[in-house]
């Protein structure tokens, strides 16, 4: 199927779908001066929030069949046609290997992990700290023992170390799929697809676990007007030509979640940024709603913390993109083709 193929390896290291160089020492020398002389407001000058989720909302199924609670960054609770899925959950205080240093969240999670409803599946796109929080996984393993976990190849070992039982974990290669069960016989097919990024929780284990994007398809997706919903969760990726093929093979999507933060021209091969997200959305067919993710919670780059969303809004005007931007913590129903633009970040 063209560019959408199983992952390849060179020795112990997985390879990107297209040749990609991830920065080493040379990159560090280029970035250091920018860090030292950077005057952007990279962390909000005034406290954000607090945001609060009314957990009682989850007692009632979404009328539209699709409801999203954006926790912040790339973490969210997705309720899709009767199946509840947590995406890249990070409730941890910092996106870091240690608790006393590293990028600290701009606002507290809008609900506690023990306030979550029953979760059917937890998806982890890759092993970076802003997508896989150790404390979060440990707590979820205790609170949600029945949940299934879906990860790219190799990430299961990390989850087992944090207390997730091996039999609850499904590790996928690119283009592989697994079906998750929800309440009352509901089903959701989850497919792992290639993305252009990298992995590793330390300096010396890069590329040793796989990374990827997910397509989630509710039962009945593709059957006339009563079809279920289809969602693309892009996680982290730089631009590559595979986006067009993903749209053609797996779309159209009701919601396309693409990252806009932590971008810089020095590392545009592994992070889209707002312009790359607009380009990818167009390549995938430009149908449905574009949900900007991976912004507004952690300082992971050199840009001002508001810059990604401000640029995204500019692009939406010039390119007539339909954006879907809920306030953090608000369980919000998706109505097909209907835009949503909250300005919580102003």
Query: Tokens 């633009």 identify what position?
Result: 341
Query: Tokens 């957990």 identify what position?
Result: 55
For position 224, what pLDDT does the model report? 42
Query: Tokens 């020795």 identify what position?
Result: 11
Query: Tokens 């952690």 identify what position?
Result: 298
In the chain, pLDDT over 70 holds for what percent of residues? 92
Alpha carbons 255 and 136: distance in angstroms, whole number: 26
Alpha carbons 329 and 110: distance in angstroms, whole number: 5
What's 170's domain CATH number? 3.60.15.10
Average pLDDT, rounded, for the chain? 92
For position 31, what pLDDT does the model report? 57
Answer yes or no: is 24 within a domain: no
Answer yes or no: is 344 within a domain: no
Answer yes or no: is 205 within a domain: yes
Can you give the residue range of the structural domain that contains 246? 46-338
Q: How confident is the model at residue 29 (pLDDT cuts 50, 70, 90)?
A: low
Nearest to 210 by CA among 238, 262, 171, 263: 171
For position 82, what pLDDT does the model report? 95
Which pair of structure tokens corresponds to residue 172? 């996928």
Answer yes or no: is 4 within a domain: no
Answer yes or no: is 11 within a domain: no
Answer yes or no: is 109 within a domain: yes
For position 326, what pLDDT does the model report? 98
Answer yes or no: is 283 within a domain: yes
For position 179, what pLDDT does the model report? 97
Answer yes or no: is 25 within a domain: no
**Mean pLDDT calculated for residue range 280-294:** 97
The string of pLDDT tens digits covering residues 157-207 is: 999 999 999 999 999 999 999 999 998 889 999 999 999 998 999 888 999
Is 80 exceeded by the pLDDT of residue 265?
no
Cβ neighbours of residue 56 closer than 8 Å, sequence gap 6 or more: none
Return the SS3 of 8: coil
For position 223, what pLDDT does the model report? 40
Number of domains in the chain: 1
The string of pLDDT tens digits covering residues 114-154 is: 999 999 999 999 999 999 999 999 999 999 999 999 999 99
Alpha carbons 7 and 23: distance in angstroms, whole number: 21
Residues 146/180, Cβ–Cβ less than 8 Å:
no
């Amino acid at each position: 199927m063209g560019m959408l193929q199983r992952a390849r390896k060179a020795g112990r290291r997985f390879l990107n779908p297209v040749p990609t160089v991830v920065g080493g020492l040379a990159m560090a020398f280029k970035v250091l001066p920018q860090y030292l002389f950077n005057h952007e407001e990279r962390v909000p000058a005034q406290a954000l929030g607090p945001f609060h989720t009314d957990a009682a909302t989850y007692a009632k199924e979404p009328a539209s069949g699709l409801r999203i609670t954006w926790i912040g960054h790339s973490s969210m609770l997705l309720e899709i046609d009767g199946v509840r899925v947590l995406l890249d959950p990070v409730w941890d205080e910092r996106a870091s290997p240690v608790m006393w240093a590293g990028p600290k969240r701009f606002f507290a999670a809008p609900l506690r992990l023990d306030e979550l409803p029953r979760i059917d599946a937890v998806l982890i796109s890759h092993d970076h700290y802003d997508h896989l929080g150790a404390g979060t996984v440990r707590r979820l393993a205790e609170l949600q023992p029945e949940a299934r976990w879906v990860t790219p190849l190799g990430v299961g070992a990390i989850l087992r170390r944090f207390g997730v039982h091996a039999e609850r974990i499904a590790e996928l290669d690119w283009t592989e799929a697994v079906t998750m069960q929800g309440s009352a016989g509901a089903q959701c097919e989850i497919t792992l697809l290639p993305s252009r990024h990298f992995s590793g929780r330390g300096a010396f284990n890069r590329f040793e676990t796989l990374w990827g994007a997910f397509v989630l398809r509710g039962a009945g997706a593709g059957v006339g007007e009563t079809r279920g919903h289809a969602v693309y969760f892009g996680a982290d990726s730089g631009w590559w030509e595979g986006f067009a093929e993903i749209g053609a093979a797996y779309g159209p999507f009701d919601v396309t979640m693409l990252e806009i933060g932590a971008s810089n021209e020095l590392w545009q091969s592994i992070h889209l940024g707002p312009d790359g997200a607009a380009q990818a959305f167009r390549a995938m067919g430009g149908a449905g709603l574009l949900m900007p993710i991976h912004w507004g919670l952690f300082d992971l780059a050199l840009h001002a913390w508001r810059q990604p969303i401000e640029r995204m809004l500019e692009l939406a005007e010039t390119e007539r993109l339909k954006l879907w931007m809920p306030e953090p913590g608000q369980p919000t129903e998706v109505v097909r083709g209907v835009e949503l633009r909250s300005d919580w970040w102003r």
